[in-house]
Amino acid sequence: MAKPAEPGMAPHLLVVIDHQEAKVYRTEFNGAVPERIVPYDPHGYGRHLHSAHEWTDGKRQPERKSFYEAVAKTLQGAEQVLLFGSGTGRSSAMDLLLADLKAHHAGVAATVIGSVVVDAHHTTENELLAQARKFYGDYNRK
């Protein structure tokens, strides 16, 4: 992850996450290029965290810890973090990431200011960043 633009200014990050990957954006830059994090897939099943090939007795296997560790490491040093994901509950990679951060990375979890359900597959990166900037603007005006 790039260093903050100004000394003493920690970045505001947007994490767009699903079961295939996480994209981490610096929201203070226009045209931000995300850092892309994908789970390790030793079997080559398309890098889905919950591939049908991994299911046993109809129950979903736990998410890969290394994936969430990589995301948490990327978020260290951020002033504020906003999470975007799809789905809710056990089907939401966003909810599972937040639970993992709270359990294992309390300092990073404390920087998460919100989590928003979005349709990231049908929304452009510019639209996602605009939505994140609006959220940050509204949140920081309070």
Structural domains of the chain, count: 1
Give 51 or 111, the one with higher predicted confidence: 111
Tokens representing residue 86 in the block:
């799809």
Q: What is the pLDDT of residues 16-52, one digit of tens each?
A: 999 889 999 999 877 778 899 988 665 555 444 443 3
Asked if residue 3 belongs to a domain, the reply is no
| Distance in angstroms (rounded) separating the CA atoms of residues 78 and 13 | 7
53: domain CATH number is 3.30.420.60
Highest mean pLDDT among 9-13, 90-94, 106-110, 118-122: 106-110
DSSP calls for 72-104:
HHHHTT-SEEEEEESS-GGG-HHHHHHHHHHHH
| Distance in angstroms (rounded) separating the CA atoms of residues 11 and 89 | 28
Tell me, what's the pLDDT at 10? 77
pLDDT at residue 89 is higher than 50: yes
| Distance in angstroms (rounded) separating the CA atoms of residues 102 and 7 | 28
Tell me, what's the pLDDT at 68? 92
Domain holding 63, by residue range, is: 12-141
Asked if residue 21 belongs to a domain, the reply is yes
Tell me, what's the pLDDT at 52? 38
**Residue 127: what are its φ and ψ, rounded to 5°?**
-65, -40
Asked if residue 1 belongs to a domain, the reply is no
Asked if residue 66 belongs to a domain, the reply is yes
* 29-49 CB burial, b ≥16 within 10 A, e <16: eeebebbebebebeeeeebbb
pTM assigned to the model: 0.79
Is residue 17 within 8 Å of residue 84, measured between CB atoms?
yes
